[in-house]
Amino acid sequence: MERGALAPLSPNEEVTLRRIAIGFATASELRPRDVTRLIQLLLVEQRDGRIVLTDQGCARYRSLPKAPAIDASNLREFAAVLKRQRHDDKSS
């Protein structure tokens, strides 16, 4: 069995995994400690200056409760809406 398949994740690590999966945050916006642990568990990796899910990370993400399906076109649109909303909240 692979390292990250069943390893318990803290609530913060789970949130970080979700944020990486949906592409909501840049690497600099993610908690470094969470990213380090997710890398150790082989759930994410650094690629071209970005943090991305590994195949195992995708499987782990899909196993999370209420995890929306990963679809690149939908996720880009969803992430854009969330980023716009965060920007609007900061401007207020």
The CA distance from 92 to 21, in Å, is 28
Statement: the pTM of the whole predicted model exceeds 0.75? no
* Confidence at residue 40, expressed as pLDDT on a 0 to 100 scale: 95
Reading phi first (left if > 0) and then psi (alpha if -120 to 50, else beta), residue 51 is in beta
Query: Is the model's pLDDT at 57 over the cut of 60?
Result: yes
Query: Are the C-beta atoms of 5 and 62 separated by less than 8 Å?
Result: no
What class has domain 3-91?
A: mainly alpha
* Confidence at residue 66, expressed as pLDDT on a 0 to 100 scale: 78
Q: For 4-19, how does the pLDDT look when each residue is reduced to its tens digit (9 = 90+)? A: 677 899 999 999 999 9
Confidence class of residue 85 from pLDDT cuts 50, 70 and 90?
Answer: low
